[in-house]
């Protein structure tokens, strides 16, 4: 009899352990579900299964891992080409009026071998280009 009891408790513990692992993988209280399953046996495991099926929301991990960075913009003076990254209404260099129409995306010069590319639109640009001729991005 004692041997059978040990076996039952052993199997019980394995079920509780499996529930705990699964629960914590899903971001739930593994300990709580393990105790519930261990105390109530199969009933706890069934309750757990129903709760998970009803309430589990599959998390889109890819979307969560890669938040889209808002593309930076600067205002470029049409008169003297100086850059203002805090949306100024007047050029700090020459006093020319700046507006939303002077806003340009901020890009980087990407380098592949001897060529340079605009990080914003991926078109090829000159080696020393300060702006992208295709999309107007400022480097």
Which residues form the interface with Zn ion (CB under 5 A)? 77, 79-80, 82, 91, 93-94, 96, 118, 120-121, 132, 134-135, 137
Q: In the bound complex, what is the minimum distance in angstroms from residue 94's beta carbon to Zn ion?
A: 3
CB 123 within 8 A of CB 113: no
CB 80 within 8 A of CB 91: yes
User: For Zn ion, which is the closer residue by CB, 74 or 118?
Assistant: 118
Q: In the bound complex, what is the minimum distance in angstroms from residue 70's beta carbon to Zn ion?
A: 17
User: For Zn ion, which is the closer residue by CB, 34 or 91?
Assistant: 91
User: For Zn ion, which is the closer residue by CB, 16 or 91?
Assistant: 91
Tell me whether residue 138 is exposed, middle or buried, using C-beta atoms within 10 angstroms of its C-beta: 0 to 12, 13 to 18, 19 or more: buried
Residue 106 token pair: 């901020």
């Amino acid at each position: 009899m004692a041997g059978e009891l040990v076996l039952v408790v052993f199997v019980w513990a394995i079920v509780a352990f499996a529930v705990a692992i699964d629960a914590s993988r899903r971001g739930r209280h593994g300990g709580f579900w393990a105790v519930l399953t261990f105390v109530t046996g199969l009933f706890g495991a069934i309750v757990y299964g129903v709760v998970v099926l009803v309430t589990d929301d599959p998390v889109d991990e890819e979307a969560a891992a890669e938040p889209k960075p808002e593309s930076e913009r600067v205002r470029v003076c049409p008169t003297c080409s100086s850059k203002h990254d805090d949306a100024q209404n007047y050029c700090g260099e020459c006093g020319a009026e700046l507006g939303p129409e002077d806003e340009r995306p901020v890009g980087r010069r990407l380098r592949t071998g001897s060529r340079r590319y605009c990080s914003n639109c991926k078109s090829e640009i000159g080696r020393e280009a300060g702006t992208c001729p295709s999309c107007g991005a400022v480097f």
